[in-house]
Each structure stands twice: as structure tokens, then as C-alpha cells.
A and B are shown apart, each in its own frame.
Chain A
Amino acid sequence: MRLILRNVAARLGDDGSLVVAASPDSLARQPWQWDVRLSREPVGQSQDYVGAGIGRHHVCVRVDDAHVSAELLTQTFDDPGTERQTVTIGRPADELWLAVVETGTFRHGHLEVAPGDVLVWEGGDPVGIDITATSDERITVALVILRRTDGQSLRWVP
């Protein structure tokens, strides 16, 4: 399953922070696993989460560390303007990836993606993430990689 949340970053208030994705996502009928928050400024106690300022945002990831681990990195795709080729990134099917698009626009499958959009990939379809730049601006995303600590597949819970 793949989830695209349009223009999430625009919903941040001046001093606001926003949970852009979480699991469970709507109701706590199953144990809480993780959430990803986006903010203008760092929030909360840094020992409680994995966080970093990436582009215009602070991305902060909280996990139930008995079951889930998180990695946060900046992913950049060089020279989209000259190449404009489709790059396919392999994602292990048991990992859940989340990207906050900071700069650049690209096509992903049949969808156009722009800065401020948040994307989530989970499960076995799709595992390959294909990206084709659609502007000259370099593509930068804050990439969150979530895994289950027991090696099983991490699925998104609505």
C-alpha cells in the first residue's frame, strides 16, 4: 500500500506541529507503534524521538522501541534536470518508508508529487519506488525508515 498526503506541510501553523502519519492512524484499537511529526521548530525532549531538521522542517519520529526502530535521513537525487530518467529505489517489503518532500517535483507512477507532500510505502506492492524528476530543482526528501525489531514485516494500521 502506498499513501500520498497532499501538501501536508502547508497545514502547519506558524508555530505548529502536525502528526503527518501514524500507526494506528485513526483509532487506538491496536497498540501504538509509531508516529511522524512535522514542525517548524524542534519539539519535545530529544531523547524521546529520532529527529532532525531537514530542509524547512523538523521531522520527528517516535516509536515504541520495544517493537519498532526508526532511521531518519536526507535523501537527495542529483542532477534531475540533466537526466530526467526514472530512478527506481528498492525498498525491502518488510520496511515501512515515509518521505517528506522538501524540494523538487517528480512523477511517481502516474502521480505528480510536489514539495510539502508526504508519501508512505508499506507492504509488498509496490516495493520499487520509481521517481522521475519533472523540474530542474534537485529532489530532496526527508526519509524515515521504520522496521520491526523482531524482523517481521511492519504493516501500516489504519
Chain B
Amino acid sequence: MYALNAWYVAAWSTEVTREPARRTICEIPVVLYRAVDGRAVALEDRCPHRGYPLSAGRLVGDSIECGYHGFTFDCEGVCVRVPAQEIIPRRTFVRSFPVVEQDGWVWIWTGEKDLADVSKVPDTHWMTDPAWATVTHSFHFDCRAELIHDNLLDLTHESFIHTTTVGDDYIYKHGITVVVDGDVVSADRLMPSVAAPPLYATTMQLDGLWDRFHCTEFRAPSFHVLHSGITGEGRPREEGYLIKVLNGITPIDAHNAHYFYAFSRNFGVDQQWATDELVEGLKTVLQEDADALALQEIGLQTRPPGEFDVLIAQDAGVAKARKVMARLLAAERQGTITTADLEPSSS
């Protein structure tokens, strides 16, 4: 079950070309391509004739021709050609999805078309702002998307999983502030007078003590902006070395997710060596998360029914986000929140 009335990152702009590309999003097969005028198009990737993936076909102008028997569909998913006959049967269409392309991200709306509200596409302007430099990564995570949400909302895991990059014991010693505002849940941690984490210290060429902070802002159900950085002791955050980590989390199915990751920084913007170092360092961080969550996914799948997560006060962000997700899911099936909505299942 997915919250479908939402924008999900489907791809980076660079991945959408005149070659059809296939993506599975919330178990929906999607083909992505560009029309002749450059517009990104997203159609259901299953030919209504006999189920062949349209992504295995080819583009003919703005349309896509199925590679099996040549049924052809325009950008709206309307069948415009059936090679073997003149009449196009009425049921011959594929679903098209609203698409927004912004700052190098391609978003698709997987729910009811009438509800697609472009103003709800999250802000990602740091990607294209010249005052910021950005490193991106794409990962396949062998886990349900919810585990990534939990992971990002509880950064105490940095103390254990990312010991060589961004972790330190002081993280879990500092409390969090969780803010719930509609569908947005944020978990903020201020760590006054600490050393900069190794990954950033090199890039920023810093020593001494700093106020470190990170605030995960989860825009349910699909996107997190992690506002993090370090600033002088007692100084406002805006003055500091700032990082915006953008995380597009797109479910593939119940046990797999796409992870679109962008790390924008407002320091050392022109330093290519710093960018190169971050590309490698951040890949390590993401791989550490990917490995850990794949193990957690196995742990959950093999957990006997009747055993449940033991959440503690530090998990307030996780718990509140699960509640928001449960509310979104319940709204889509027009029902009330059930226990199953609120915690990970063993299947």
C-alpha cells in the first residue's frame, strides 16, 4: 500500500532522454522519455495490446511505438496507430502521469490526476543556485522505503553506522526537537561545541570546536531535506558552513526503493578536489546505509508476527512520521488508521 496522491522523484533530468527508460514506482511500471520539444513524458509501461513493456519499443516523434506489434501511443497515452487495422479499439490507451521537472529532478504524480498540485513539489533550488555546489548519487536500496524514512529521521545511527565519515558518540547524547506541522515532520538536533565530523572537516579544512546541527525535514511521503552544517559556537546557523541533503525516496515495491540523493554545500563551491572527495565520501555513507537497511529488511521479514519495534523517546520523529504516513494511507482508502499502518510488518 502506497500513498499515491503524491509527487515522487522518478529520475534525474539527465536520465530522461530520447531513449525510453523504465522505472518501477510504487509497483507501477513507468516509461520515461522526452518529447521532441524536450518535455518529459511518463506513461504506464505496459502495452494494453498484450502487456509488452513500451520501454522496450522506440520513439516515433512524440509517440512511443510498442516493440512487439507496433501499437503507438502519444504523450497522453492515447493510441494513435494500430498497424494491423485502421480502427483503434476503444480500450487502447495507457495511463499518463503528470510530470514536473525542476532543478534536475523529474517528479511524477502517481495518484488521481485532478489532485496533482504543482505547488506541492518540494523546493530543491540549491541544486541550481550558483552559490551552492552539489554532488549527487543514485542508489537502489534493498529495503522498503519506510526504513529509509526512519533512518533519516533518527540520525543517532550515524554514531554506529557512519563512524569513519559523519558519526561520533556525541550525536546520540544530544536530544532532538521534533516538530509536526501537517504532513511535514522534522527532527532537529543541535550539538554545541563539538569537533566537525571527519568527512566535513577535511573538505572545510577546519579544526577546533563548532556548533554542529542537523535537521531532517520529512515532507511525507517521499522527500527529506536534511538541513545540516556547522557554525561558530553560539552563532546563528545561517552564518555557518551549510549543507542541504536532498533525499528523494521512491518505493519500487514492498521490499525495494529508489534513493535519489543530492548533497549541496555553500562552501568550497569552486574546489573540484573537495567535490571529488565528497563524491567518494558520500558514496561510502550511502553504501553504509544501504547495507544496514538491507540487513534490517531481512530482520523484519523474518521477524515473527507478534514482535514489534520498541520505540523510545529518541524515536519521536520516526513515530510521528509513521503517524503522518498512516494518515495519508488511510485518507487514500477513505478509512481510519489501523495498527498495520503504524508499524513495519513482517511480510
Interface residues of A (CB under 8 A from B): 1-7, 25-27, 29, 109-111, 122-126, 155-158
Contact = CB atoms under 8 A, between A and B. Distances in A.
B174 A125 contact: yes
Contact of B180 (A3, A29, A155): A3
12 contacts: A3-B316, A4-B177, A6-B179, A27-B308, A29-B308, A29-B310, A110-B188, A125-B173, A125-B175, A157-B312, A157-B313, A158-B316
B180 A123 contact: no
A156 B316 contact: yes
Given A157-B311, A158-B315, 4 more contacts: A1-B314, A3-B316, A26-B319, A26-B342
B180 A158 contact: no
Interface of A is mostly: loop
B343 interface: yes
B176 interface: yes
Contact of A6 (B182, B188, B190, B343): B182
Given A158-B315, A158-B319, A5 B175 contact: no
Given A7-B181, A26-B322, A123 B175 contact: yes
Contacts of B323: 25-26
Nearest to B315: A158
B312 A27 contact: no
A27 B320 CA distance: 12
Interface string B234-261: 0001000000000000000000000000
A27 B177 CA distance: 21
A86 to B, nearest CB: 13
Nearest to B309: A29
Contacts of B182: 6
Nearest to A118: B180
Nearest to B177: A2
